[in-house]
């Protein structure tokens, strides 16, 4: 039985999702005439209680557009050193926006209000880049699916208000955080100026992200999307997958989280596993030691068709997702306990 836990992006549309997609009413979205895209954007904006939303082909493009509308070339944003916008978007912050990153060493990808306050360049000190934006990530990807405490975000918002900084959330896996912490999406909508969310990860749509935000900022976002080549035509088929996922695939993320916890417990029992990071959502990051036993553990997984991600330096990652079934889960737990 092949078990692929490299990422929650590996999911394929379910038959019910495909059927829903096939029945979508479509139009030309560059003319804003695709009723299904419009419905998706309205739904996501309402979900967060924000003014407006815009569909993007990828989370990277949504984040890059957000950074562009918040900043001017030469300015600086503040983010954790683990941030996706810094590490995994091809250098887009500098390529697209001409902006530099002030990186902070947070805890599992999360930064504090005190750290943010300490990283702001004084606006009248013209030798330094002007700080104009703070980017948070929730859940954190490289941080192993960790979730922010809402109180910390509120404190960061206060700092941003005081210093007139924009606040963007890379919420590729915000759905996971909302399910795990029972925080309210509307509260997020009040705290952030812009939020990007992915439909193509835990929610299981084949593509798509949505950027939600305040009207004044979002008026610029549609032009940036066009510039980046993200204006698409009869997109409703894809938006339908997102609409379907929002209706049917959010609550079930709980299941992914429970399975991730059980896998972590299974890994914890294995002698060559040196450390398992605390599981908060659907990502398990663990460390193996440098013994021959660790090498045979990896070979054991491979020979049993279990595929996971190697993050380097002995760090490994498993991500649970919709296509990781109960049967696969039971089989993998069995494999772990019999190693």
Ligand X SMILES: *Cc1c(COP(=O)(O)O)cnc(C)c1O
The candidate with the shortest Cα–Cα distance to 201, out of 179, 186, 221, 185, is 179
CB closer to ligand X out of 198 and 288:
198
Quick one: tokens of 126? 């013209």
Q: Which of 93, 104, 172, 253 binds ligand X (CB under 6 A)?
A: 172
Window of 57-65, 128-136, 243-251, 326-334 that interacts with ligand X by CB under 6 A:
57-65
Q: Which of 93, 198, 245, 263 binds ligand X (CB under 6 A)?
A: 198
Q: Which of 11, 60, 121, 320 binds ligand X (CB under 6 A)?
A: 60
Residues between 283 and 322 that touch ligand X (CB under 6 A): none
Residue 80 binds ligand X, judged by CB under 6 A = no
What is the separation of C-alpha 120 from the centre of its chain, rounded to a whole number of angstroms?
25
CB closer to ligand X out of 120 and 197:
197
CA angle 63, 205, 44 (to 5 degrees): 55
Give CA–CA dist 83/178, Å, rounded.
Answer: 19
CB–CB of 144/284 below 8 Å?
A: yes
Please spell the DSSP secondary structure of 110-133, one letter per residue: B--HHHHHHHPPPTT-TTSPPEEE
Give CA–CA dist 29/38, Å, rounded.
Answer: 8
CB–CB of 38/55 below 8 Å?
A: no
Closest separation in Å from C-beta 141 to ligand X? 4
Window of 58-66, 159-167, 276-284, 309-317 that interacts with ligand X by CB under 6 A:
58-66
Give CA–CA dist 20/171, Å, rounded.
Answer: 25
The candidate with the shortest Cα–Cα distance to 114, out of 156, 166, 165, is 156
Closest separation in Å from C-beta 109 to ligand X? 9
Residues between 12 and 51 that touch ligand X (CB under 6 A): none
**Total of residues contacting ligand X (CB under 6 A):** 12
Q: Which of 11, 36, 52, 58 binds ligand X (CB under 6 A)?
A: 58
Residue 84 binds ligand X, judged by CB under 6 A = yes
Give CA–CA dist 134/118, Å, rounded.
Answer: 12
Q: Which of 3, 52, 59, 328 binds ligand X (CB under 6 A)?
A: 59
Closest separation in Å from C-beta 64 to ligand X? 9
Closest separation in Å from C-beta 172 to ligand X? 3
CB closer to ligand X out of 144 and 266:
144
Q: Which of 209, 281, 282, 320 binds ligand X (CB under 6 A)?
A: 209
- Residue labelled with tokens 């929650």: 8
Sign of the torsion formed by the C-alpha atoms of 64, 70, 72 and 73: negative
Residue 170 binds ligand X, judged by CB under 6 A = yes
Phi, psi (rounded to 5 degrees) for 102: -95, 115
Closest separation in Å from C-beta 101 to ligand X? 14
CB closer to ligand X out of 58 and 121:
58
Residue 11 binds ligand X, judged by CB under 6 A = no
> Rg of the Cα trace of the chain?
21
What is the separation of C-alpha 263 from the centre of its chain, rounded to a whole number of angstroms?
21
Residues between 97 and 156 that touch ligand X (CB under 6 A): 137, 141
**Contact residues for ligand X, defined by CB under 6 A:** 58-60, 63, 84, 137, 141, 170, 172, 198, 200, 209
């Amino acid at each position: 039985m092949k078990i692929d836990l490299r990422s929650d992006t590996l999911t394929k549309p379910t038959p019910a999702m495909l059927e829903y997609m096939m029945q979508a009413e479509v139009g030309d979205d560059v003319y804003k005439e695709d009723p299904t895209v419009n419905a998706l954007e309205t739904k996501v904006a309402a979900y967060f209680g924000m003014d407006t939303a815009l569909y993007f082909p990828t989370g990277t493009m949504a984040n890059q557009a957000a950074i562009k509308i918040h900043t001017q070339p030469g300015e600086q944003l503040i983010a954790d050193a683990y941030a996706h916008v810094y590490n995994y978007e091809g250098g887009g912050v500098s390529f697209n926006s001409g902006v530099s990153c002030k990186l902070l060493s947070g805890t599992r990808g999360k930064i504090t209000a005190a750290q943010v306050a300490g990283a702001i360049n004084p606006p009248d000190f013209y030798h330094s880049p002007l700080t104009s934006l703070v980017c948070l990530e929730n859940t954190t990807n490289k941080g192993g699916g960790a979730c922010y405490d809402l109180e910390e975000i509120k404190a960061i918002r206060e700092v941003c208000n005081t210093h007139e900084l924009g606040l963007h959330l890379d919420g590729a896996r915000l759905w996971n955080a909302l399910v795990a912490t029972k925080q309210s999406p509307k509260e997020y909508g009040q705290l952030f100026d812009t939020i990007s969310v992915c439909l193509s990860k835990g929610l299981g749509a084949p593509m798509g992200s949505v950027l939600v935000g305040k009207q004044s900022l979002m008026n610029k976002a549609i032009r940036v999307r066009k510039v980046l080549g993200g204006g698409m035509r009869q997109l409703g088929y894809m938006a339908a997958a997102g609409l379907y996922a929002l209706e049917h695939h959010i609550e079930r993320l709980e299941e992914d989280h429970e399975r991730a916890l059980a896998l972590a417990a299974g890994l914890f029992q294995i002698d060559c596993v040196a450390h398992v990071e605390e599981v908060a959502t659907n990502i398990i990051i663990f460390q193996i030691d440098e013994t021959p036993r660790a090498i045979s553990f990896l070979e054991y997984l491979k020979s049993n068709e279990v595929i996971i991600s190697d993050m380097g330096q002995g760090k490994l990652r498993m991500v649970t997702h919709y296509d990781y079934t109960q049967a696969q889960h039971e089989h993998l737990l069995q494999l772990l306990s019999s190693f």
